[in-house]
Amino acid sequence: MTFPRSAILFDLDGTLIATRRLYMEALADALEPALGVRWSEADILRHRPRAERRFLLEQVEAHHADAVLERFYASYERRHEDDFQGVYPGIPEMLDELRARGRPPGLVTGKSRRAWEITVPRAGLGDFAVTVFDDDVPAPKPDPAGLLLALRRLDARPVEALYVGDSLADLEAARRAGMAAVGVLWSKKPHEVEPFSEAGRELGARIIHRPQELLALTEA
């Protein structure tokens, strides 16, 4: 089985690059002075963060907002050397092959443009046909606004498009946009694999273990 592929769009964090540890530490750094306590990864994940700016602003009073955001971006940049775990194996080769086939990938992410500008020179992912950030949309995934905006910019129809992501919000956003979806497992912890796979299939997504599998799904 292959998917339509006039537009192949990707989530970023957890799909192309490994930033879980980086985000957990930078978010905790940003919130600690405002909350008076340092949140653990479990504390942060309990609030289901989907876009760093929105998540941070939801946790603090308005008068803390600017300081919290500045602390986050300062920490996010400072911690890259130790906590950014790089690009997942096989991702650069998969993206290059899509470009070689004339299927340049697009990016639709809950990351802010400012955070992307910190990460992009360190990631080496190459060019994207379109990039849509949290700054560009009224609501985060699973709202499909970012995906639909990317398709408009590419002049592509949802029925001809594919979205690749690592979260159920990604897969639900694709479903709402009328796109095919692929869920990836390479960023999952062992106990997360089966629940994500089952829930993803219920949303109609194809689940893959390795980036190379995507190439087989999108063959001409």
Q: What is the pLDDT of residues 123-175, one digit of tens each?
A: 999 999 999 999 999 999 999 999 999 999 999 999 999 999 999 999 999 99
Residue 3 pLDDT greater than 90, yes or no: no
Point out which residues pair with 107 in neighbouring strands.
10, 131
Alpha carbons 171 and 180: distance in angstroms, whole number: 9
pLDDT at 6: 76
The residue from 83, 111, 133 where one domain ends is 83
Residues 175 and 213 in one domain: yes
Which pLDDT score, from 0 to 100, does residue 1 have? 53
Residues 47, 58 share a domain: yes
Asked if residue 1 is part of any domain, the answer here is no
Whole-number Å distance between alpha carbons of 131 and 9: 9
- Residue 2 falls within a domain, yes or no? no
Active site residues: 11
Q: Evaluate if residue 220 carries a pLDDT over 80.
A: no
Residue 125 lies in a domain: yes
Task: Tell me whether residue 212 is in a domain.
Answer: yes
Same domain, 14 and 24: no
Of 62, 47, 52, 60, whose CA–CA distance to 26 is shortest? 52
Exposure letters 74-97 (e unless 16+ CB within 10 A, then b): ebbbebbeebbeebbeebbebbee
* The pLDDT of residue 152: 96
Tell me which of 194 and 219 has the higher pLDDT: 194
**Domain co-membership, 97 together with 27:** no
- Looking up residue 91, the CATH number of its domain turns out to be 3.40.50.1000
Altogether, the residues listed in the chain come to a count of 220
Token pair of 122 as six digits: 């360190």
Q: How many domains does the chain have?
A: 2
DSSP annotation of 17 reads B
What is the SS3 assignment for 144? Answer: coil
**Structural contact between residues 200 and 168, judged by C-beta atoms closer than 8 angstroms:** yes
Q: Are residues 78 and 92 in the same domain?
A: no
pLDDT of 171-209, one tens digit each? Answer: 999 999 999 999 999 999 999 999 999 999 999 999 999
Same domain, 103 and 173: yes
pTM of the full structure:
0.95
Q: Is 170 contained in some domain?
A: yes
- 58 and 90 in a single domain? The answer is no
Tens of pLDDT along 77-124? 999 999 999 999 999 999 999 999 988 999 999 999 999 999 999 999
Structural domain including 36 reads: 20-83
Are residue 90 and residue 156 in the same domain, yes or no?
A: yes
Q: Which residues of 30-62 are buried (b: 16+ CB within 10 A; e: fewer)?
A: bbeebeeeebeeeebeeeebbbbbebbbebbee
Are 42 and 92 in a shared domain?
A: no
Higher pLDDT, 29 or 6: 29
Query: What's the one-letter identity of residue 103?
Result: R
Contact between 162 and 170 (Cβ < 8 Å)? no
Tell me if 72 sits within 8 A of 26, measured CB to CB.
Answer: yes
Q: Residue 25 has what pLDDT?
A: 98
